[in-house]
Amino acid sequence: MEELKELGASRAGAIHCLTIIGQIEGHQILPEDAKTTKYEHVLPLIAAIEESEEIQGLLILLNTMGGDVEAGLAIAELIAGMKKPTVSLVLGGGHSIGVPLAVAAKCSMIAPSAAMTIHPVRINGVVIGVPQTYRYFSRIQDRIVSFVTEHSRIGREEYLRLMNNTDELANDVGSVIHGEEAVGCGLIDRIGSLSDALAVLHQQVDR
């Protein structure tokens, strides 16, 4: 995970950038050849940004490929709970847990060429096939759906429809929606580039 970077200063103070890329690594360590963002590094950075008197706004750059659901939700909840101005910008893709991360900011943006991949919660490896296991997955998925619909303009039924779509992905369930589609369905607030995201963030800071 890249360290926190200062992008510059406005009248009100510094704008900082947090990059979340690859897979969100949680309690299990992923292979060395996998690009990961370690959530135990991100959480204290977000807390430090919120407490800093010098930092006035946070820009979150996202290009995710899924990862640990619990770790991703922890990061998203922390971002959503910030009082300082926050803007997220999806570049390339927001896969799975990248969706809650994107909508957690006060303003979410997506590059015209970027896409969001929405699919149900699943797990790799050995699973104990008992009813409790399936109820556990159902509750995790419900938490994700609730978070996304509470922090965006998309309706619950529409988000579930996209999540459980069987007509789009080969050998998989879910949907891939691109920039304009993500804005049109209310998942993301607006289309934008880096300069647009910074302009919105500076407006928040000035207010």
Residue 138 dihedral angles phi and psi, to the nearest 5°: -65, -40
- The tally of CA atoms less than 13 A away on the side-chain side of residue 12 is 15
Which one of the listed residues 16, 95, 119, 151 is annotated catalytic? 119
Residue the block writes with tokens 């104990």: 128
Which one of the listed residues 88, 95, 96, 151 is annotated catalytic? 96
Contacts of 40 (CB under 8 A, 6+ apart): none
Q: Is 119 a catalytic residue?
A: yes
Q: Is 138 a catalytic residue?
A: no
Q: How far apart are CA 21 and CA 98, in angstroms?
A: 9
Q: How far apart are CA 132 and CA 95, in angstroms?
A: 27
Do 90 and 109 contact (CB within 8 A), yes or no? yes
Helix (H) or strand (E) holding 147, with range, is helix 131-150
Do 154 and 133 contact (CB within 8 A), yes or no? no
**Sign (positive/negative) of CA torsion 104, 65, 138, 178?**
positive
Q: How far apart are CA 119 and CA 137, in angstroms?
A: 13
Positions marked active-site: 96, 119
